[in-house]
Structures are given as C-alpha cells and as structure tokens.
Amino acid sequence: MNIVFFDSGIGGLSVLREALMLMPNENYIYFADSDNAPYGTKTKEEVKKLTFNAVQFLNEKKIKALVIACNTATSAAVRDLRETYDFPVIGMEPAVKPAVEKNNNRGKRVLVIATALTLKEEKFQNLIARFDAEHIVDMLPAPKLVEFAERFLFYGPEVSDYIKEIMPENLDQYGTLVLGCTHFPLFRRALEENLPKDIDIIDGNRGTVNHLMDILKNNNLLSLSDKKGKVTFYKSGVEVTDKTLLEKYEKILYGRNL
C-alpha cells in the first residue's frame, strides 16, 4: 500500500520531504501534474477536473492515504474527493492560526502569500474568518514563484528581484510571513535574504504530515516494516524514469538547502 502525494507540480515535494523524515519506512507515490501547472491561475472548475483525473489514475496504485499537497487543489477539490473515495484524503491549510496567535500580542501583522485562487477561495476565506478576529492578516498573490519553481529556479537575481518587487513597502509591520503554497518553502533561502531578519517564515507542511500520521495510526495503517520505503514519481500520469529529472526531485527531498 502507498501513501500518495499529489500536487500541480513540484511544490508538494516540500511536504513529502517532511513525511520522509518522520515516516521513512513507508512507500510513497509522488504525482506532479507539471504538464498542467500552474493551477493557481486556472478556474476552480479546471483545477477540480484536473485533480479528479489524477486521483482516478492514482486510485489504481493501492492508496492507503492521499495527501493533496497543493493548497489550490485542496481548496477546489478536497471536499468532493472525500465524498467520492474511501481512503483518507488529507489537504493543506495555510498556517494562519499559529501566525495570528503569535502576532496578536506583539502588535504585528501577518502576511500570507499564496496563489490568487487559493486566496479568493471560500476555504481560505473561512479560515481567515475563524482566526483573524483582529483583522491583522494581509494577503499577497505570488504567482511567479510557482513558475520559478517549475523551472527549478529557487535562488538568484531573478528570484530576488521578484520578491522585492511584490513585497509591501512597510515590511516592518509584519511579524510573520505565511507560505500558503507548497512551492514556496522551496524559496526559504531567497525569502530570508530579502526580508527583515525578525520576520518569522512558516508553512503548514509539518502540521499536515503530523495530521497524516495521526490518521494512519488511528486506522492501523502505519507501516510495520523496519526497511526503508521507496518513492515512485509520476509526472502527469507517466512514471518518471529520466535520470536528470529524478536527480532534481531527489535533491529537493534529501538536500539540506530547504
């Protein structure tokens, strides 16, 4: 049985990376729908259709749990996926709650960066309504970061120039930057170098994987093997065998630069 991670592209590797640290003995499938990326600029209906097409394909791969490692796809499709399939479906949620709790007493604001679709979807707006009673959360779409990631460009002048271009002028008002897209933790180094040193940068990846572990435990689905598991990669329905691409994936999963 496999734990499946699905994303529009390579961003979900940042979530799978956390899972490999905590559950190295599981077998994983990673599905990157890179041929159809980015999702964040598509309509909700388009994203939902693409997500369901991928999960229909993956359903033949002996799934014991599915992680929608994409905030945009989570917003568009997770509710309907849970109604359609019997296996556990875990979605992403931007770390708004801990960011607000930390900054309410500091007199600082919170900045959430994500795709435009994630920010305007009902799921995210409900999250803001539940936890941002003091209205300290600002939202910022950062679509080009997804495009950079799909080119495996995580650092350098082009990335830094874009970060500087989109960021608000008065960054001193912010205590926390929430990374609301799974592609964005891949830019942690670039963000840290282009933001004030006292801004915390957080994401929801570890919380998602902890939730996954709890579900697996509660359903007696955790692997009992003492051997290291394997990861199989698919790119838009085709198993990845290209060595150069596999090396790029594995560098993200096992490298020390994230």
Residue boundaries of the structural domains of the chain: 2-91+205-254, 96-203
**Residue 5, exposed/middle/buried by CB under 10 A (0-12, 13-18, 19+)?**
buried
Tell me whether residue 194 is one of the annotated catalytic residues.
no
Tell me whether residue 203 is one of the annotated catalytic residues.
no
Provide the pLDDT for residue 256.
55
Provide the pLDDT for residue 128.
97
First-to-last CA distance in the chain? 29
Residues whose CB is less than 8 angstroms from the CB of residue 109 and which lie 6 or more positions away in sequence, other chains included:
103, 136, 137, 138, 173, 174, 175
Residues whose CB is less than 8 angstroms from the CB of residue 41 and which lie 6 or more positions away in sequence, other chains included:
115, 116, 117, 143
CB 159 within 8 A of CB 190: yes
How far, in Å, are 52, 86, 97, 108, 126 from residue 111 at the CA level?
A: 31, 36, 12, 10, 17
Q: Which of 159, 181, 209, 252 is catalytic?
A: 181
CB 7 within 8 A of CB 34: no
Length of the chain equals: 258
Pairing state between β 238-239 and 231-235:
antiparallel
Provide the pLDDT for residue 218.
95
Please indicate, yes or no, whether the overall pTM of this predicted structure exceeds 0.85: yes
Element (H, E) at 102: helix 96-103
Q: Which of 15, 58, 70, 139 is catalytic?
A: 70
* Domains 2-91+205-254 and 96-203 alike in fold: yes
Residues whose CB is less than 8 angstroms from the CB of residue 38 and which lie 6 or more positions away in sequence, other chains included:
8, 9, 115, 143, 146, 147, 150
List the chain pLDDT tens, one digit each, 258 residues.
Answer: 999 999 999 999 999 999 999 999 999 999 999 999 899 889 999 999 999 999 999 999 999 999 999 999 999 999 999 999 999 999 999 999 999 999 988 899 999 999 999 999 999 999 999 999 999 999 999 999 999 999 999 999 999 999 999 999 999 999 999 999 999 999 999 999 999 999 999 999 999 999 999 999 999 999 988 899 999 999 999 999 999 999 999 999 987 555
CB 143 within 8 A of CB 172: no
SS3 call for 52: helix
The CATH architecture annotation of domain 2-91+205-254 reads 3-Layer(aba) Sandwich (3.40)
96-203 CATH pick, 3.40.50.720, 3.40.50.1860, 3.30.300.180, 3.40.50.150: 3.40.50.1860
